[in-house]
Amino acid sequence: MKKIEFNQIYNVNCIEGMKSIAKNKIDLVITDPPFAINFKAKKANYNRISSRVISGYNEINPQNYYDFTFGWMSEVYRILKKSGSMYVFSGWNNLKDILQAIDDVGFITVNHIIWKYQFGVVTKKKFVTSHYHCLYVCKDEKARRFFPFSRFKKEDKNEKGRSLHYKDKEDVWEINREYWTGDEKTPTKLPSELIKKLLEYSSKKKDIVLDPFLGSGQVAVISKSLGRQFVGFEIVPDYYKFAKKRLDQNIYRIKKSN
């Protein structure tokens, strides 16, 4: 594959894409890999009109999930700077494979964040799943960068006198999923507020942010909007085209805090 440039996204398998990036180049990885739960893209329950969901979601066989995860994470480890960090989203179904691969590849776990969203799938015989796990990991605990007052100052308080920066840094985050506007959509999308929060705590302007599994391109789009450099990969041509269009049109302009 030809040389990878930053501030671009590519319609390739992320393993192939990452192999074309030199080691120790990337500052931050935010990613939401395929879940291996035979996800029926067209029937995603929170996209009510399934005909508008672009088909082709590339799912992974659950039996191969550990090997698949170990493969892509090893490439991330190679191209991440010593000071770099990664945030990986995971449902609970294949969490054990994600946690095992994190250890086996050599990452150090920093936090285990829970993202609580509205609208789980209603169930009669069990509890409603309404959260994702987000594993915050790094290569080197001493070199790792974190910007604790990038969103709230130490002295900022709410109307009850409680510290805002403390509240923002608790590891359970209640952030709503976003409704899609427009006719076309991919089956899953992380909320912009969630990505913005990760970017603000773990990167600065001009840092290079990678998402190996772009989907709708949300990580690249929000990174661009906050003045970060970005790069990413998506294997499904129609999702890639969708993400590229969103990037080219600067779909998001969100409030910048640093």
Ligand X SMILES: C[S@@+](CC[C@H](N)C(=O)[O-])C[C@H]1O[C@@H](n2cnc3c(N)ncnc32)[C@H](O)[C@@H]1O
Round the CA-based radius of gyration of the chain to a whole number and report it: 18
85 scored as a contact of ligand X (CB under 6 A): no
Among 192, 203, 216, 225, indicate the residue that binds ligand X (CB under 6 A): 216
Residue whose token pair is 């899609």: 180
In 3-state terms, what secondary structure has residue 112?
strand
Query: Three-state SS for 140?
Result: coil
Confirm or reject binding of residue 236 to ligand X (CB under 6 A): yes
Q: Identify whether the C-beta of residue 16 lies closer than 8 Å to the C-beta of residue 191.
A: no
Chosen residue from 90, 150, 186, 225 binding ligand X by CB under 6 A: 186
- C-alpha to C-alpha distance for 251 and 247, rounded to whole angstroms: 7
Nearest to 8 by CA among 17, 82, 189, 32: 17
225 scored as a contact of ligand X (CB under 6 A): no
Q: Is 69 in the site for ligand X (CB under 6 A)?
A: no
Q: What is the smallest separation between the CB atom of 225 and ligand X, expressed in angstroms?
A: 14
The region of 102-110, 129-137, 151-159, 215-223 touching ligand X under the rule CB under 6 A is 215-223
Q: How far is the CB of 220 from ligand X (least distance, A)?
A: 10
Q: Does 150 bind ligand X (CB under 6 A)?
A: no
How far is residue 157's CA from residue 58's CA, in Å, rounded to a whole number? 45
Which residue's CB is nearer to ligand X, number 68 or number 201? 68
The residue from 53, 99, 234, 247 that contacts ligand X (CB under 6 A) is 234
Round to whole Å and give the CA distance between 233 and 248. 16
Among 7, 20, 55, 58, binds ligand X (CB under 6 A): 58
Which is closer to ligand X, CB of 33 or CB of 84? Answer: 33
Contact call for residue 76 and ligand X (CB under 6 A): no
Interface residue with ligand X among 19, 25, 34, 42 (CB under 6 A) is 34
Torsion angle in degrees (nearest 10) through CA of 232, 33, 95, 204: 30
Instruction: Report, in Å, the least distance between residue 68 CB and ligand X.
Output: 8
Q: Whole-angstrom Cα distance, residue 170 to residue 187?
A: 29
Using CA atoms, how far apart are residues 251 and 144, in angstroms rounded to an integer? Answer: 31
Interface residues with ligand X (CB under 6 A) are 13-14, 32, 34, 57-58, 186, 188-190, 213, 215-216, 218, 233-236, 239
